[in-house]
Chain A
Amino acid sequence: MRRSTGFMHAQRRPGVVASVVHRLSGLALTFFLPAHFLALGSALSGAGKFERFMNVTENPIIKVLEVGLVTSLAVHLACGLRILAIEFLDLRERTAATIAVCFAFALASGLLFLLNIQMGLS
């Protein structure tokens, strides 16, 4: 029989959850950035190519991915600001509450973006 591993238990701790979400959202953004630069770069070859690229983003699947992207960006921003506040401003936080605010901000950002898409479609 094996001894229990620390990280499995650690998953319940808010600081660890925030750290994992912060890193995963950062990874998600690295997948987005090449596509973003590719889109901008396509404009160098003329408006037609850029427009064709933009038409791809009208695909509903891409729209759903964009909501995820905005949420990832917001959660990465909020978690990053939290770490900066701890390290540079000596913020002594109530960890669970602060992280809940970060996640709520990200979720609200994602939902607002979704609402914006809905209004654009209607």
Chain B
Amino acid sequence: MGHAAMTGQALEVRIWRGGEAGAFQSFSLPTRPAQTVLDVVTEIQRGPEPDLAYRFACRVGMCGSCAMTVNGEPRWTCRTRVAAVAKKGMLTLEPLRNLPVVKDLVVDMTTFFEKWQKAKGVFEPGDAPPADFAIVKPDSAERQAADRGIECIGCGICYSACDVVAWDRDYLGPAALNRAWTLVNDVRDRGQAERLAAVVADGGCQSCHTHLSCTKFCPKSLAPTYAIAGLKRAAMRAAVKGTK
């Protein structure tokens, strides 16, 4: 339905209230031109429900804090227009899946970021990093592989969309493994052996079932599935070479 057609019509919004246990609360709002899902939540919080909990910061798709489940699918709400996702004038808003609910639309992201650490998703300069800048050619295969995954904003949408995370709470998840893959391709990094050991351990890259949900829903159009496939190839090469 186009923006003009929707403007002025009533929008029925169901929002999850409470923690893990809770209930949906319904609201009726007017639709507005170019209205985003985040606009809807803000209008409700600034109007009838001042205690509605949700997160946002930049409102322009950079910070990754406003992700929610919108009509059953994980999305960044600041860049999602109501007209594109409302079904028959209905919006159902829930917190992200696969993370503990703190309150209403807010989830606890601790586990998500702990898994980045567990996947060694941190640059390791080594004991004696070079004093001068490293020269990395933009057209080198490693640089291009890293470029494909580097724009992650840590929104947690891929983690929420992943079925394997839902089944196996120890699975590191697409975002952490994608970050690890960008570092595997960072020629300056000196922690490759430890990183590879971390990503092939239980709950690592081999747990991915290639459902491609992360790749489908990533708002930055990254493809964690293919990053994870890259990690599997790196693990295979290391196994063939006999390196640990």
Residues in chain B near residue A90, CB distance under 8 A: 226, 229-230, 233
A102 CB to closest chain B CB (Å) equals 13
**For A3, what are the chain B residues with a Cβ–Cβ distance below 8 Å?**
16, 69, 94
Number of interface residues of B (CB under 8 A): 29
In the assembled complex, the Cα of A95 lies from the Cα of B230 at a distance in Å of: 18
Chain B 62-102 near chain A by CB (<8 Å), digits 1 or 0: 00000001001100000000000000000010100110000
User: A16 to chain B: which residues have CB within 8 Å?
Assistant: 163, 211, 213
Option from B24, B92, B98, B213 in Cβ contact (under 8 Å) with A10: B213
Q: Determine whether A36 belongs to the interface, using a CB cutoff of 8 Å to chain B.
A: no
Q: Do B24 and A1 touch across chains, with their CB atoms under 8 A apart?
A: yes
Q: Does A86 contact B (CB under 8 A)?
A: yes
- Taking the complex as formed, is A31 at the interface, i.e. its CB lies under 8 A from any CB of chain B? no
Given contacts A3-B16, A4-B92, A86-B225, contact A15 B212 (CB under 8 A): yes
Q: Contacts A4-B72, A4-B94, A86-B210 known; list 11 others, CB within 8 Å.
A: A3-B69, A3-B94, A4-B92, A6-B166, A10-B211, A16-B163, A16-B211, A86-B226, A87-B210, A90-B233, A95-B216
26 residue pairs bridging A and B, Cβ less than 8 Å apart: A1-B23, A3-B16, A3-B69, A4-B72, A4-B94, A6-B163, A8-B72, A9-B72, A10-B163, A10-B211, A13-B212, A15-B211, A15-B216, A16-B163, A16-B213, A86-B210, A86-B226, A86-B229, A87-B210, A87-B229, A88-B233, A88-B236, A90-B229, A92-B226, A95-B212, A95-B215
